[in-house]
Structure 1
């Protein structure tokens, strides 16, 4: 077919769902010359890509770095050095070893123990929204709530001072240009290198401090894990800290922001939550499905693969779009309807198989508390601006800002 899918088109990026529907119907395994990758859009196929760890590799960085001119010039060394230790980019057995170490930190009990702190942060942020509104200042739901909530939670978990929130955001935004595969950002590799270098220097100082004087935080746990049989190197600890801080807030910010946006656009569903706060957890599952915080996951073919009559060649990139799979009518009943009480919701937003999102319980807890308390305390909140601007990203799916009126 002559049709070419391209998220670099701002209109498509703002609303890719009509294009996803067309691809699912006409060309579910689609080669996009614009993106130089295969686009997979059906629920069953996205699930298959997630499960195929023999022929499809999560290590999309190594082949990319080998052919990247900035890498060959030696100008993105920190980006290569630390991101290569992220377990999301590793295959077994490295992935298995790293995952085993971090599973202990994200057990249901460990996550539930974070509830009082999350409740406190949510209450504080809602108080801040109310105070800004009373002063007549513009309230931005993203900057004033959806971003600082998960960022504060993960910083507390790691043992990073909240006073460093602004610095961390600058570094994280720069790294996001690379991780999210931004389409149009200039100098994205050099900016991502700058962010990775600054964040690695920052965490190296914290790791050295915790090595001398351990405290009750995750960085200390990672340092102490050096004594286990699956000992971590210093670079692995630093790389993992960057991953946890980045992934621990970036996607949850988008989850809370996107869910809020569609709740405001579907006012009957917001009023339904206000009337019945017990729907908060179910609402979060619909936020995850309807327009989730991670639009796609990227893989690289480790061998030639046949899929729906197409041959994906070894070394070619594959983007499996969960946000398309989650609206596949073959898997989801009435998928275009936003329904916070949906009885069955087999979305793939957290992935599937060995790379299922480690932080899923924490993201669900944060978002559920946020939805519940917002509905209780700000039932009359409404959007105040026009159409939001979406981040330029193939992977990360979220809006840049959401001005709101509280009453």
Structure 2
């Protein structure tokens, strides 16, 4: 019997630490391959990953985690999530959420986000003083997006420290090889988060403000439809979990990439106008979300194979973003890259609704890091988190010198 090696071995710490060589090796074999370990097809190319994201026969079909009683709150926040729905339910929910977002919330926050980013970087510079390594993740990358989403939703300042621990616990359920403790922590966090948001939504119903939560409570479409309370709670949790996790990890992964490519860091310092393209390149170069699953609602031919009805196929976003058929010198960081159709934010009907907010946060963060320092240097080796699906760092020690 010939043993065929898995196309992606998540038991290999080297793959988790740096999956890109494994992606390249698998891509050279076939665009789509079966993973026995994961029980699904994996798309390794940009074309096939893009097709997985866009093909309406490949849907996000939520199935409650079993036993349902054990995962009551976790299931509730996913059963009602726009990310886990398909049209027409998805269309209705996205229309309502977009109507609330359309009230100018992102632009309203732009000056406040920049002011916060400047303040956080100034604090890092003061503690580092050009000599002492400080953790940019805990000191800025984790602080800013949570603060922004809390401000967006109108979460009181005293309650904001609750948000990130809840989110951290919940998103660990998306990894493979979870422990019972991880699952219990996720359910506990989901229950606490749901209870908190129900209380906050009740307050907004009696005393609405100008925050997004107030608008989500009151928004109605032309037919008079509105969000149910479960949909409202789920939308707020999704905004935090998906929004801040991606921004934190682009900040960490991206800054590390710049520190490891000092020529590109210097290029960006010398030409700040490159910042928007640099942000897109950092998202492409080391994707914060590596895998996005979909389920076939009928037999679908893709990449030379047939995904049978009921089978799952995953777009490997990081692999697609390093496909040499689409990106020139894909393993090279190029902050001036203009031809950059990366799929970090997804594609099709599930394209990230929070993408504009993420770009505002990232441009503010990197703008502050570059504009308020004269030098940035890695103070010690960065420690990467051991998860594959959500790719990020545990810490990032940097020495910062004031401008």
Same fold (TM over 0.5): yes
Please list, as runs of the form range in 1=range in 2, the aligned pairs for 1:296-335 lying within 5 A after superposition: 296-335=291-330
Q: How does 1:42-81 map to 2 (within 5 A)?
A: 42-53=45-56, 55-59=57-61, 61-62=62-63, 65=64, 68-71=65-68, 74-81=69-76
One of 26, 33, 38 as aligned partner of 2:41: 38
Q: Return the match for 2:215 from 205, 217, 221.
A: 221
The DSSP-based 3-state class of the residue aligned with 2:10 is: coil
Question: Pairwise mapping of residues 152-301 of structure 1 onto structure 2 (< 5 A)?
Answer: 152-178=147-173, 180-225=174-219, 229-301=224-296
Give the conservation status (yes or no) of the 8 Å contact 1:39–1:318. yes
Superposition deviation, residue 316 in structure 1: 1.9
Other-structure match for 1:10: 13
SS of residue paired to 1:299 = strand
Structure 1 residues 108 and 50: CA distance shift in structure 2, 3 A: farther
Q: After superposition, what is the alpha-carbon deviation per residue over 1:158-216, rounded to whole angstroms, capped at 9, x for unaligned? A: 001233332211111110111x3243444332221111101001101100101111111
CA distance in 1, matches of 2:130, 2:341: 44
Deviation at 1:135, TM superposition (A): 11
1:337-376 correspondence to structure 2 within 5 Å: 337-376=332-371
Local SS of the residue matching 1:113: helix
Instruction: Say what the alpha-carbon RMSD is for the aligned residues.
Output: 1.9
Is 2:88 aligned against 1:85?
no
Q: 1:113 to 1:30 in 2, by over 3 A?
A: same
SS of the aligned residue for 1:329 comes to coil
State how far apart, in whole Å, the 1-side matches of 2:322 and 2:107 are. 31
CA distance in structure 2 between the partners assigned to 1:376 and 1:119 by the alignment: 12
Conserved 8 A contact 2:96-2:227: no
CA distance in 2, matches of 1:308, 1:367: 34
Q: Give 3-state SS (helix, strand or coil) of 1:88's partner.
A: helix
**1:332 to partner: Cα distance:** 1.0
> Structure 1's 118 and 266: CA in aligned 2 closer, same or farther, altered over 3 A?
same
Q: CA deviation at 1:272?
A: 0.8
Q: Distance in 2 between matches of 1:104 and 1:355?
A: 16
CA shift digits 1:95-143 (9 cap, x unpaired): 1011111223444954223211111110111122123225987511111
Unaligned runs of 5+ in 2: none
TM-score using structure 2 length: 0.94
Matched residue SS, 1:347: coil
The CA deviation at 1:387 is 4.4
Aligned with 2:23 (options 6, 20, 36): 20
- 2: CA distance, partners of 1:76 / 1:287: 36
SS at match of 2:383: coil
Preserved contact between residue 70 and residue 189 of structure 1 (Cα < 8 Å): no
| C-alpha contact 1:298 1:320 (8 A) present in aligned 2 | yes
Deviation per CA, 1:70-98, whole angstroms, max 9, x where unpaired? 32xx1110111122111011000111011
Where do 5+ consecutive residues of structure 1 fail to align? none
Match of 2:385 in 1: 390
How many angstroms apart in 2 are the aligned matches of 1:124 and 1:183?
39
Cα displacement (A) at 1:328: 0.6
